[in-house]
Structure 1
Amino acid sequence: MIQHKLIDACKNNSRKAQLRLYNQYCEAMYYVAFRFLKDSMEAEDAMQEAFIKAFTRIEQFTGEVSFGAWLKRIVINNCLDKLKARKLEMVAINEQTLATVEDENNWQIDDGIGVDDIKNEIDNLPEKYKYPLMLFLIEGYDHEEISEILGITQVASRTLVHRGKKKLQAELKKLKHGTGY
């Protein structure tokens, strides 16, 4: 069935269409949730809750973005809500002291560093850098989207991503060259 027909069927409460969409996206959405929650049971719960929200709010899906992107946003928001409920609060930044930070697209790391190394080092970053950096580098969101998801300004998003990248680069250098001492 073509994607838009499947979504239309979901809007008409077709359980069969919902199951097909679920089967099409569940694995990818589980991995998105797992990257945030680091617990398979919680990730599965977050993913399933996101599908329930998506199907109950399917009328809000306008088709401006792909269904997968729309669903992914619901999954990420659900994960962030779970993290907040766990009392993992993000540190607010005093925006009056922030300078505008230009994105550095010229970002290099050593050849011996793998994707798993980068993901592990992102996981070890302080919370205030970890989530904006995950959304930017791994999930591919821009600063406008990150600011909406995390409830911060775009300036704060740019700053957190910039500082997170610097901290990540420093940790990756330590990883490559030992302790750095």
Structure 2
Amino acid sequence: MFPIDVVNQCKANNRKAQLQLYEQYCNGMFHVALRFVGNADDAEDVMQESFIKAFEKIHQFKGEVTFGAWLKRIVINKSIDFVKSKKENLVALNENHVYIVEDEDWSVENDVTVEAVKSAITLLPEKYKFVVMMYLVEGYDHGEIAQVLDLTENTCRTRLLRGKGYLRELLKNKVYGTRP
């Protein structure tokens, strides 16, 4: 059975179809949540809440994108909401008036592993971490990131550029041993 058939059955509140979709997407969505929240227990909670919301709102799924992409957006939003709810003090900076020069060079030293990059991303300040993760790991473009995070595209570009700078420094310090 094709996923769209299963989705249509879910729209009719078919529990077996819901279980089938859950089983098909739960592992992937768990890993998406884990990248954002950084803790397996919290990622499990976020994933469960995301599926609940998806099944409650499944009538809004129009098939313009794949079900997986639609669900992934819910998981990312829930993950970000979860992380924000854990923060006590957030300081908003107005980055709308900064002119950004795009830098598409994401190259790193040859001895830097993918795991080192992922680990360094988790150390970025939150407002940069989400943008870098969504761009570099999840493959979203600036328009999509701006929409999900409720930012302007210019702010998104600014945060990506600054996040990349922080990331390079973290990786450089790791490679040359200037930080423990």
- TM-score bin (small chain): over 0.9
Calculate the TM-score normalised by the size of structure 1. 0.93
1:52-71 alignment runs, 5 A limit: 52-71=52-71
Q: Which residue of 2 aligns with 1:107?
A: 106
RMSD: 1.5
Alpha-carbon distance in 2 for matches of 1:46, 1:148? 20
Write the deviation string for residues 110-168 of structure 1: whole angstroms up to 9, x where unpaired: 11111110011111111121111111111111111111111111000001001111111
Q: Which residue of 2 aligns with 1:137?
A: 136
Identity %: 49
Alpha-carbon distance in 2 for matches of 1:27, 1:96? 37
Task: Letter of the 1:108 partner, please give it.
Answer: S
Contact between 1:33 and 1:76, CA under 8 Å: does it hold in 2?
yes
Alpha-carbon distance in 2 for matches of 1:137, 1:107? 9
Return closer, same or farther for 1:96/1:33 CA change in 2, 3 Å cut-off. Answer: closer
Task: Letter of the 1:42 partner, please give it.
Answer: D
Q: Which residue of 1 aligns with 2:176?
A: 177
Whether 1:35 and 2:61 are equivalent positions in the alignment is no
Q: 1:101, CA displacement in angstroms?
A: 2.9
Return closer, same or farther for 1:126/1:44 CA change in 2, 3 Å cut-off. Answer: same
Structure 1 unpaired stretches of 5+: none
Alpha-carbon distance in 1 for matches of 2:49, 2:91? 26
Contact between 2:95 and 2:158, CA under 8 Å: does it hold in 1?
no
Alpha-carbon distance in 1 for matches of 2:78, 2:56? 15
Calculate the TM-score normalised by the size of structure 2. 0.94
Return closer, same or farther for 1:33/1:90 CA change in 2, 3 Å cut-off. Answer: farther
Q: 1:88, CA displacement in angstroms?
A: 5.7
Return closer, same or farther for 1:89/1:99 CA change in 2, 3 Å cut-off. Answer: farther
Return closer, same or farther for 1:2/1:175 CA change in 2, 3 Å cut-off. Answer: same
Return closer, same or farther for 1:148/1:91 CA change in 2, 3 Å cut-off. Answer: farther
Q: Which residue of 2 aligns with 1:125?
A: 124
Alpha-carbon distance in 1 for matches of 2:93, 2:101? 14
Q: 1:91, CA displacement in angstroms?
A: 4.4
Contact between 2:96 and 2:155, CA under 8 Å: does it hold in 1?
no
Q: Which residue of 1 aligns with 2:160?
A: 161
Q: How many residues align?
A: 179
Contact between 1:93 and 1:156, CA under 8 Å: does it hold in 2?
no
Q: Which residue of 2 aligns with 1:10?
A: 10
